[in-house]
Structure 1
Amino acid sequence: MASIEAIGTKTSSIEDSNTVSVSEVKRPSIPLRDKYSLRGFMKYLQGNPWDMVLSVFFLFMGYELKMFGNSYSIDTEAMMQVPENLYRSWVGLERFGLLALKKVLGLYWYNNAVASFLTAMCLLLAALLWAYLLAGASNLKGKFHPAFFTVPFVASPILAEMVGFTLTGAEIGIALGLVACSLMLLLNSWFSKKWWVAVLSCLTAFAAFTLYLAMVTVFITGVAMVFLVLFWDDREHDLLRRIVFIFVAAGIFVFAYAFYKVANAAAMKMYHVTTNAYISDQS
């Protein structure tokens, strides 16, 4: 009897060990609360020191002359001669938030050295935020190194036109970072089911849109990127959950864009300007 009990105990222990191994193989579920946070972002960067070094190296390769040089971009001369007219034209370009941010940050009076340095720094910060966003969505924080995203991002010629305007380069970097933060809040609200976090996501996207209208396209592209990374080879979420995610993201976008259009119309009425044809044709 003792031997039979011993065999039964051994068999149950083997079954328990097999059960544990199966659960370990299963993809870990995404936590329902506080998925993205400032503390998590700092820990993510601290866990990848060499990625930070590599990212900064490529940033210097692409923007060292702009950061520490004194070259002028094509918009700078107009800024120095008729700043009020240039700022007024931004409202017609539906960038009233850009003008407001200049006043809030104390950058209303142009400084070429400060603008060039902040452009590169804000671009790097935006790249790191996007890397953290994708790493969290993929559930591979230990394997998704920041350099996989930041190096192609800061070295990409696609951004050459936008950040080539030194006068608005830093604010464009801030806008890119705001879109990443909006998507983080979107994911936090979706998993935690907290409506007020979705409101914060909507307001953050609205702020990004007011800085630069191209952030509308960046937001839509970011949602597609997050969707692919989040649900790629994922058996934990059924089709209904995926559809719900798309509708939540679409709802946040619609409310943010509608809020932006209302605020933009009020800003243009206050400054007595109309939408520039350059923006109308693109829209």
Structure 2
Amino acid sequence: MREKRTPKGIFFKKYFVVYIVAFLVTLASYYPKIRYFNYSIDTERMIRFPGYTLDWWLRLGRYGLVFLSKIPFFGEGVHIRYINMLTYLLLFISVLLLTYVFDRGTKRTRTEQLLAIGLYITTPIVLEQTNFVLQSAPVIFSTAIMFIGYGLLKEFLTNKEYVFLTSGLILIMLSFTVYVSLVLGFVALTIVDLCYHAREEKWEIKKYFNRVLFFAGMCIISYGGYLIGNIVCLKVFNLESSEYLLESKLWGSVPNTQVFATIKSSISYNFRFDSPFALWGAFVLLIVFIAISIWNKENLVISVVTVIGIVSIGLYTVPLLGYFGTLRSYFPVYPILLYGLSMLIFRSEKSKLVAVFSYLFIMVIVVVQAFNTFRFGMNEQKIYQQEVALVKEIEIKLKENKIDDYSKYKLAIIGGKTFEEITHGDMLGNTVFAWDLTSDVGTSYRAGDFIYNHGLHFKRITPKDYNRVIENVNTMTSFPDDESLKIDGDVLIIRLS
């Protein structure tokens, strides 16, 4: 059975009010990030050493991100307010594309579409990713072009014109070059989209698996093209690939019993009811989907494949790393799964009571997510203000000690400092003054770069000099005491704790 097509004009006319409300929800949820100037871990290094950051991205295989970061439209890395406005505008646009690709037959009501969009837009996982302002706009942009590419592949299946196939493959490959996790986003979209249309259009098992194989093949081809491009880039720039992600895996580095214990604790921690990320909502939606599928006697094979796919992609870091984390790497997987699961539930529910329950439950998740995303944004501003205040306090203390020619000294920061906060996430809620405490220079690089960007132009210390001076800090007290500053040769030592 062929999907009944709806002209684009009619589609957007039907959902016009939905998109207006969705835009307002986006604006409200991310208002603190749009309104205030602040940035997260890594951005301080991009501001001071842009070349280092770009080389790091190349080593991570993110050569598309490097290219986009050099385009003025994307803010060239450090125009914070502009980048934030662009990022969340692109987020809204990406949702328009997702809804059209997923439901261009306009089968869902305005209420259902709005609730599904709300789940996608408001999840704090989006902020976990986009709080990295130096990459946020390119990542959301690449998500949008992945959606377009997926839609073009669907168009090819309808009319068999190879221009759609070629264009789709190119766009999907390009999206992978910006953010490799979009491979998983593509898989997540395929899982929920194929199940939705299999039920909507009453597909036979053969047709369903033909579509599965088609999209799997397109993903492999696109990823292969990305890998070839990555090999070429590494050769051209004479760089070695980084195994950054795999370096954090637990398998093989600790006993398996400890790995399994970590898996259990990390999953229970992230899916607990009081988590600000409300991942428990995705779990409940999956249970509701399973229950409705059984109640409606939906095709068992398609339902089982879909559930296995959702669980696998929703916990992909567990078999890869041996624990559930980092949350930012689950963008756009979880937003897509939240949207797709809600659309599957709306499509399958036949009881008014179940429909009302679904609407109310999803509305609760949307409100919780939006509130927590807003709070996280305010929290980032609160921490940033305290970080800037600490730099000002350090500057005053230096002047009291008649130290004003900062460029004469290398900066060694001993210990760290945390700040009062509203809430705490994964990367959200962290400060440069307490990050990398166990590195070979402590927080001296992160905090030192932040201090440098605020006008105190100290040199970077070497690990060798840091190890030398750290042996002579036992008599020092914590900042802002008078004995918290010390000069050792050409090294200025600040002891924070």
Contact 1:54 1:151 in 2 (8 A): no
Post-superposition shift, 1:49? Answer: 2.7
Whole-Å Cα distance in 1 between the matches of residues 228 and 245 of structure 2? Answer: 16
Match of 2:466 in 1: none
Q: Which has the higher contact order (CA 8 A, sep 6+)?
A: 1
1:212 to 179, 191, 202: 179
C-alpha separation in 2, matches of 1:120 and 1:43: 26
- Alignment partner, residue 200 of structure 1: 167
How far residue 61 of structure 1 moved from its aligned partner, in angstroms, is 2.2
**Is the CA contact (8 Å cut-off) linking 1:133 and 1:184 kept in structure 2?**
yes
**Shift, 1:163, TM fit:** 0.8
Distance in 2 of aligned mates of 1:142 and 1:221: 20
1:104 positional shift? 3.6
Corresponding residue to 2:102 among 125, 129, 134: 134
1:189 maps to amino acid: F
- Does the aligned pair in 1 maintain the 2:69–2:135 contact within 8 Å? no
Matched, 1:30 2:28: no
Q: CA deviation at 1:177?
A: 0.9
Q: Give the total of aligned pairs.
A: 247
1:95/1:211 contact within 8 Å kept: yes
How far does residue 112 in structure 1 lie from its aligned partner after superposition?
Answer: 1.1
Q: How far apart in 2 are the matches of 1:146 and 1:102?
A: 33
CA contact (8 A) 1:132 1:146 kept: no
| Moved beyond 6 Å, runs of 4+ | none
1:210 offset after TM fit, Å?
0.4
Offset, 1:141? 4.4
Q: 2 CA distance for matches of 1:250 and 1:142? A: 27
- The alignment partner of 2:61 has SS state of coil
- Decide whether aligned partners of structure 1 residues 229 and 61 sit closer, same or farther in structure 2, where only a CA change above 3 A counts: same
TM-score, with length taken from structure 2 = 0.47
> Which runs of no fewer than 5 residues in structure 1 stay unpaired?
1-27
Structure 2 CA distance for aligned equivalents of residues 105 and 190 of structure 1: 37
Q: 1:277 aligns with which of 243, 248, 260?
A: 243
Matching of residue 119 in structure 1 with residue 117 in structure 2? no
Match of 2:60 among 93, 105, 120: 93
| Amino acid in the other structure paired with 1:73 | S
Q: What are the within-5 Å matches in structure 2 for residues 46-57 of structure 1?
A: 46-57=13-24
Counting only pairs closer than 5 Å after superposition, residues 47-86 of structure 1 correspond to structure 2 as 47-86=14-53
CA distance in 2: counterparts of 1:97 and 1:218, whole angstroms: 17
Q: Does 1:260 align with 2:226?
A: yes
Cα-Cα RMSD: 2.2
- Which has a greater percent of helix? 1
Letter in 2 for 1:250: A
- Tell me the TM-score normalized by structure 1: 0.80
Counterpart residue number, 1:250: 216
Distance 2:161 2:72 in 1: 31
Q: Secondary structure at the match of 2:30?
A: helix
Shift, 1:195, TM fit: 2.8
Of stretches 255-264 and 153-162 in structure 1, the one that deviates more from structure 2 is 153-162
Alpha-carbon distance between aligned partners in 1 of 2:31 and 2:10, rounded to the nearest angstrom: 27
2:155 pairs, out of 188, 206, 226, with: 188
Q: Which digits, 9 at most, give the CA deviation of each residue in 1:128-170, with x for residues without a partner?
A: 211111112xx33463654233211110022222111011111
Q: CA deviation at 1:273?
A: 1.6
CA contact (8 A) 2:11 2:106 kept: no
Contact 2:39/2:131 (<8 A) preserved: no
Assess, with a 3 A threshold, how the Cα gap between structure 1 residues 253 and 246 changes in structure 2: closer, same or farther.
same
Q: In the alignment, what sits opposite 1:24?
A: none
**Are the aligned partners of 1:96 and 1:267 in contact in 2 as well (CA < 8 Å)?**
yes
Q: Which moved more, 1:157-166 or 1:99-108?
A: 99-108
CA distances 1:194-250 after superposition (whole Å, capped 9, x unpaired): 233112111111011001011010001111111011111533x33322222112111
**3-state DSSP class of the match of 2:239?**
coil
- % identity of equivalent residues: 18
State which drifts further: 206-215 or 55-64.
55-64
Distance change (3 Å), C-alpha of 1:234 and 1:46: closer
Q: Is the 8 A contact 1:129 1:180 kept in 2?
A: yes
Secondary structure of the corresponding residue to residue 72 of structure 1: coil
What is the CA–CA distance in structure 2 between the aligned matches of 1:147 and 1:47, rounded to whole Å?
12
CA distance in 2, matches of 1:190, 1:100: 32
